[in-house]
Amino acid sequence: MPSKNKKDTRVTSTCCYCGVGCGVLINKERNGSITVEGNKDYPVNKGMLCSKGMNLHYTVNDKSDRLLYPQMRYNKNMPLQRVSWDDALNRTAAVFKTFINKYGPDSVAFYASGQCLTEEYYVINKLIKGFIGSNNIDTNSRLCMSSAVVGYKMALGEDCVPVCYDDIELADLFYVTGANPAWCHPILWRRVEAHKAANPDVKIIVVDPRVTDTCALADLHLQINPGTDVTLNHAIGRVLIENGDIDLDFITNHAEGFEQYSAIVFKRTIAEAAEICGVTESDIRLAALYISEAKGFITMWTMGLNQSAIGVNKNLSLINLNLITGHIGKPGSGPLSLTGQPNAMGGREVGGLSNLMPAHRDLNNPVHREEVQKFWGGNAINPKPGLTATEMFEALHDGRLKAIWIICTNPLTSLPNARLAEEVLKKANYVVVQDISNKPETLQYADVILPAAAWAEKEGTMTNSERRISYLHKAVDAPGEALPDAEIICRFARKMGFNGFDYQKPADIYAEHVRLTAKTNIDISGLNYDIIKEHGSVQWPYKKKRYVKDSSRLFINRQFYTPTQKACIHAVPDELTSENTDSNYPFVLTTGRIRDQWHTMSKTAKVNKLNQHYKQAFVEIHPNDANGLGLTDGDIAVIKSRRGEVRVKVHISTEIKQGVIFLPMHWGKILGSDLNRANNLTNDLIDPVSKEPDFKFCAVSITKYTKP
Ligand code: SF4
């Protein structure tokens, strides 16, 4: 039960799981533990929490798996030994300096996480880009939202979600594609559910090769063949144009590229598109009809579009539907990408990806590079983009990269072609792992392990999917010698001999970050911790001395961030570039999440309740496919791709399309076996622009396991 004196024992925070960013109240109990409840005053969730959020306290209270002190080994044959912080950081600084002097700054890299707080992202980015002289910082956001980032920049001129969550209650059509928000963004979806319940005319279209829980609300489910999203979106666009259901005023005055778009969508007949997508022509026309009737039209998407070899094209083809109908910059309308991680957006604000700069500045722009260099007072910013997530592991493989520092992420479960990634890490020269838990497989290949403070054990800020910045209070001390991630990085930077990392507190880092955003599109130079605490949360932009009340919705003046101030309608090709199926690998594998687990389960698997939903990994297969293969429910299936193998229980379901199988992405090595790990199968193919991997499409075979 919560303590009685709430005033002294309760602090506000934000859920550290998905990008919905629900407000949480943390109750500090007399025995040092915490409990959590939804914050009724928080505009995002109004007191609601999903199964993961309402069990957050278990992950903090249970210290059984926590890393408590730094560990190190002097060579690969030695066991890890407990050392002091000074020893661990001195040696790491010496190793980094040696590599940098001998092989150049690009021989080292940081691989971090969309779960890091903004302040943590800021100092990592400042260290590598401003002082070490390399852009080799990437995060697991590369596996998550990078296709959407490129899509927004190409279409709207800026990496920005133009709508706010309050637009949900103003919309009358939701086009949900490549997403299962009923499971993966549950609180946002509850708002859609409540809105539809109160307004039965509200329509929902769901596009997904699987019948998910999200489909329970759908007026139309387009169960497309995997990877055919662009063809579908183009076909809907064609019907809208044919029927005159487009916004000619918006297209003429506020957009460009319509003629090329029109030419490309008319290349295929609706019948051809229906055949390619595996849906009926009449359903495509019905989707277009719903859009034509909508006064408020929101497109929602996440990994089903982003995690693709053509992820950027998929994003652009979807945003085009908002643009040709003029459904942007007005209440209840616009694209709303659903961020997978809690602070992927905050990370991008500080420039925390290998191709970004602080405050969404352009790495290619010498003026921007000089601005940042002068501000930081460090070395010249390298104009060459750094290595992205998968490229880092390629560079470790071929020896270009000598040292990698992995922070708050578990790449050996989450990267595609995970067996290869594991082989690479095993042979890497120098691996630093900074984490809260002793569970991630990555730790077994670490030369140095650094214990980090967890959620509720440190303070800082995050930005959710609607540009809402919130402040997370510290509620309890970290166990053992664990330190906040930002402090670890700053201590290391000082060991490297760099100035500018002697912050007294996280508020100082935040103050520096907001100053650097001045006069940019994401200007939050008027913001500080006190203002965020006073308002509870604020959305960007938030300019100095002027709270932009209506920053909740962008582009209300129909002026975009492109050089012409017009939105760009891109005529993208619809060809799929994923690997081919053939007689050896005849099925398409798609991977995804289940309701109660988060990422690689390093936190959620600590909670018994959350493990009850699905207790083990499984493969979902259509009954017709299962019959043909002699598979029955509960059998063990062997699934093979051109890269690896998985053995999991069979779950026969009519909810998956024939010819497609589904594996959850959460499970990694269990009891030494990696045969639950879906990413043994996935491939390294990436989108050529966003560099996001093709997790949603790989060719596999499936057979019944028989004991040798
Ligand atoms: Fe946390 Fe997302 Fe659930 Fe909200 S919807 S409680 S942010 S996991």
pLDDT tens digits, 360-396: 999 999 999 999 999 999 999 999 999 999 999 999 9
* Residue to mutate (ligand 1; options 14, 17, 184, 191; most atoms within 8 A of CB): 17
Identify the band that residue 696 occupies on the pLDDT scale cut at 50, 70 and 90: very high
Q: Which atom of ligand 1 is nearest to the CA of 44?
A: 4
Identify the band that residue 240 occupies on the pLDDT scale cut at 50, 70 and 90: very high
pLDDT at 602: 81
Identify the band that residue 546 occupies on the pLDDT scale cut at 50, 70 and 90: low
Lowest-confidence region among 315-319, 580-584, 588-592, 704-708: 704-708
Ligand 1: residue whose CA is nearest its atom 4 = 22
SS3 category, 362? strand
pLDDT at 7: 53
Query: Do residues 288 and 210 make contact, with C-beta atoms less than 8 angstroms apart?
Result: no
Query: 17: CA distance to ligand 1 center in Å?
Result: 6
Pairing of strands 71-72, 81-82: antiparallel
CA 517 → CA 125, 136, 137, 486, distances in Å? 15, 22, 20, 20
Query: Do residues 521 and 554 make contact, with C-beta atoms less than 8 angstroms apart?
Result: no
Query: Cα–Cα distance between 468 and 462 in angstroms, integer?
Result: 8
The amino acid that residue 210 corresponds to is: R
Query: Do residues 421 and 415 make contact, with C-beta atoms less than 8 angstroms apart?
Result: yes
Q: Which atom of ligand 1 is nearest to the CA of 38?
A: 6
Mean pLDDT score, 269-284: 98
Q: Is the pLDDT of residue 151 over 60?
A: yes
Q: Is the pLDDT of residue 106 over 90?
A: yes
Which DSSP category does 589 fall into? E
pLDDT at 697: 95
Q: Is the pLDDT of residue 407 over 50?
A: yes
Would you tell me which CATH number, out of the four given (2.20.25.90, 3.40.50.12160, 2.40.128.20, 2.60.40.2310), belongs to the domain 6-61?
A: 2.20.25.90
Query: 346: CA distance to ligand 1 center in Å?
Result: 17
What confidence tens digit (pLDDT) does each residue in 439-453 have? 888 999 999 999 999
Contacts of 559 (CB under 8 A, 6+ apart): 254, 565
Give the mean pLDDT of the chain.
Answer: 93
* Residue to mutate (ligand 1; options 12, 13, 14, 15; most atoms within 8 A of CB): 15
Q: What is the CA radius of gyration of the chain?
A: 24
List pocket residues of ligand 1, CB cut-off 6 Å: 15, 17-18, 20-22, 45, 49-50, 52-53, 185-187
Query: 160: CA distance to ligand 1 center in Å?
Result: 21
- Which parts of 319-378 are beta strand (E)? 334-337
- Of 71, 44, 29, give the one whose Cα is nearest residue 13: 44
- 78 burial (CB, 10 Å; 0-12 / 13-18 / 19+) is exposed
Query: Cα–Cα distance between 175 and 287 in angstroms, integer?
Result: 9
Q: Which atom of ligand 1 is nearest to the CA of 53?
A: 6
Query: 572: CA distance to ligand 1 center in Å?
Result: 34
Mean pLDDT score, 262-278: 97
Domain with CATH 3.40.50.740 in the chain: 71-142+342-503
Lowest-confidence region among 289-293, 506-510, 603-607, 692-696: 603-607
pLDDT at 589: 97
Q: What is the CATH number of domain 146-337?
A: 3.40.228.10
Query: 200: CA distance to ligand 1 center in Å?
Result: 26
Question: Beta partners for 110?
Answer: 137, 405
Query: 21: CA distance to ligand 1 center in Å?
Result: 6
The ipTM value here is 0.99
pLDDT: is 622 or 535 the higher one?
A: 622
Q: Which atom of ligand 1 is nearest to the CA of 188?
A: 5
Mean pLDDT score, 510-525: 93
pLDDT at 3: 43
Mean pLDDT score, 220-234: 97
Q: Which CATH architecture has domain 71-142+342-503?
A: 3-Layer(aba) Sandwich (3.40)
Classify each residue of 5-31 as buried b or exposed e, where b means 16 or more C-beta atoms within 10 Å of its C-beta. eeeebbbbbbbbbbbbbbbbbbbbeee
Query: Do residues 145 and 161 make contact, with C-beta atoms less than 8 angstroms apart?
Result: no
Identify the band that residue 547 occupies on the pLDDT scale cut at 50, 70 and 90: low
Q: What is the number of alpha carbons within 13 Å of residue 296 lying toward its C-beta?
A: 16
Q: Which atom of ligand 1 is nearest to the CA of 24?
A: 6
Q: Is the pLDDT of residue 87 over 90?
A: yes
Q: Is the pLDDT of residue 246 over 80?
A: yes
Identify the band that residue 228 occupies on the pLDDT scale cut at 50, 70 and 90: very high
pLDDT at 549: 56
Contacts of 8 (CB under 8 A, 6+ apart): none
Query: 662: CA distance to ligand 1 center in Å?
Result: 24
What confidence tens digit (pLDDT) does each residue in 412-467 have? 999 999 999 999 999 999 999 999 999 888 999 999 999 999 999 999 999 999 99
Q: Is the pLDDT of residue 621 over 70?
A: yes
What confidence tens digit (pLDDT) does each residue in 636-695 have? 999 999 999 999 999 999 999 999 999 998 888 776 788 899 999 999 899 999 999 999
Query: 327: CA distance to ligand 1 center in Å?
Result: 27
Q: Is the pLDDT of residue 544 over 90?
A: no
The amino acid that residue 349 corresponds to is: E
The encoded tokens of residue 404 equal 């990698």
Helical segments of 497-632, H only: 506-516, 529-535, 608-611, 623-629
- Which parts of 31-77 are beta strand (E)? 34-38, 71-72
- Of 14, 35, 114, give the one whose Cα is nearest residue 532: 14
Q: Which atom of ligand 1 is nearest to the CA of 464?
A: 7
Identify the band that residue 224 occupies on the pLDDT scale cut at 50, 70 and 90: very high
The encoded tokens of residue 21 equal 């960013």
Mean pLDDT score, 10-38: 94
Domain with CATH 2.20.25.90 in the chain: 6-61
Domain with CATH 3.40.228.10 in the chain: 146-337
Question: Which of 218-222, 554-558, 602-606 has the highest average model confidence (pLDDT)?
Answer: 218-222
Query: Do residues 613 and 686 make contact, with C-beta atoms less than 8 angstroms apart?
Result: no
Q: Which atom of ligand 1 is nearest to the CA of 50?
A: 3
Identify the band that residue 548 occupies on the pLDDT scale cut at 50, 70 and 90: low
* Backbone angles phi and psi of 385, in degrees to 5: -55, 150
Ligand 1: residue whose CA is nearest its atom 3 = 50
Q: Is the pLDDT of residue 21 over 80?
A: yes
- Which parts of 101-215 are beta strand (E)? 108-112, 137-139, 173-177, 203-207
**Percentage of the chain surpassing pLDDT 90?**
82
Q: Which atom of ligand 1 is nearest to the CA of 45?
A: 4
Between helix 229-242 and helix 258-265 the angle, nearest 10°, is 110
Query: 52: CA distance to ligand 1 center in Å?
Result: 7
The encoded tokens of residue 446 equal 């670490």
Domain with CATH 2.40.40.20 in the chain: 587-704
Query: Cα–Cα distance between 332 and 164 in angstroms, integer?
Result: 9
CA 658 → CA 210, 281, 416, distances in Å? 10, 19, 24
Fold of the CATH domain 587-704: Barwin-like endoglucanases (2.40.40)
pLDDT at 596: 85
pLDDT at 34: 94
Query: Cα–Cα distance between 281 and 388 in angstroms, integer?
Result: 40
